Structure 1
Amino acid sequence: MKKIVHRAETRGTANFGWLTSRHTFSFGQYYNPERIHFGMLRVLNDDIVTGGAGFPTHPHDNMEIVSIPLKGALAHRDSTGTEKVINTGEVQIMSAGSGLTHSEYNASKEDDVNFLQIWVIPKEKDITPRYDQKEFEVSKRKNKIQTVVSPNDESALWINQDSWFALSNLDQDRSISYKPNKLGNGVYLFVLEGKVSIGGEELGKRDAIGITEINEFNISANENSEMLLIEVPMN
Structure 2
Amino acid sequence: MKTILHKADSRGHADHGWLNSYHSFSFANYHNPERMNFGVLRVLNDDTVSGGQGFGQHPHKNMEIISIPLKGDLEHKDSMGNTTVIKEGDVQVMSAGTGVFHSEYNKNKNEEVKFLQIWVFPKTQNVTPRYDQISTRDLATKNSFYQILSPEKTDQGVWIHQDAWFSMGDFDAEITSTYTLNNPANGLYLFVLEGEITIEDQILQRRDAMGLWDTDHINLTAKAASKILLMEVPLA
C-alpha separation between the residues in 2 aligned to 1:72 and 1:140? 19
Q: Structure 2 length normalisation: TM-score?
A: 0.98
1:9 counterpart SS class:
helix
Matched, 1:189 2:170: no
Residue of structure 1 equivalent to 2:167: 166
Residue identity opposite 2:32 in structure 1: N
Residue of structure 2 equivalent to 1:224: 225
How far 1:140 moved relative to its partner? 2.5
Residue of structure 1 equivalent to 2:122: 122
Residue of structure 1 equivalent to 2:3: 3
Q: Which moved more, 1:88-97 or 1:151-160?
A: 151-160
1:57 counterpart SS class:
strand
How far 1:226 moved relative to its partner? 0.3
2:173 counterpart SS class:
coil
1:30 counterpart SS class:
coil
Residue of structure 2 equivalent to 1:15: 15
Residue identity opposite 2:55 in structure 1: F
Matched, 1:205 2:196: no
2:27 counterpart SS class:
coil
**CA 1:138 to 1:72, structure 2 compared with 1: closer, same or farther past 3 Å?**
farther
Give the number of aligned pairs: 235
Any conservation in 2 of the 1:13–1:22 contact (CA below 8 Å)?
Answer: yes
Residue identity opposite 1:222 in structure 2: K
Alignment of 1:85-164 (within 5 A): 85-137=85-137, 140-152=140-152, 153-164=154-165
How far 1:183 moved relative to its partner? 2.6
1:67 counterpart SS class:
strand
| Structure 1 unaligned blocks of 5 or more | none
Alignment of 1:36-47 (within 5 A): 36-47=36-47
Residue of structure 2 equivalent to 1:176: 177
CA RMSD of aligned residues (A): 1.0
Matched, 1:82 2:82: yes
C-alpha separation between the residues in 2 aligned to 1:121 and 1:84? 24
How far 1:138 moved relative to its partner? 6.9
Deviating 4+ runs (over 4 angstroms) = none
Any conservation in 1 of the 2:74–2:85 contact (CA below 8 Å)?
Answer: yes
Q: Which moved more, 1:177-186 or 1:125-134?
A: 177-186
Q: Which moved more, 1:206-215 or 1:153-162?
A: 153-162
Residue of structure 1 equivalent to 2:58: 58
C-alpha separation between the residues in 2 aligned to 1:185 and 1:155? 19
Residue of structure 1 equivalent to 2:67: 67
Any conservation in 2 of the 1:149–1:165 contact (CA below 8 Å)?
Answer: yes
| Structure 2 unaligned blocks of 5 or more | none
2:140 counterpart SS class:
helix
Q: Which moved more, 1:130-139 or 1:105-114?
A: 130-139
Any conservation in 1 of the 2:183–2:216 contact (CA below 8 Å)?
Answer: no
C-alpha separation between the residues in 2 aligned to 1:122 and 1:191? 25
Residue of structure 2 equivalent to 1:215: 216
Q: Structure 1 length normalisation: TM-score?
A: 0.98
C-alpha separation between the residues in 1 aligned to 2:117 and 2:62? 16
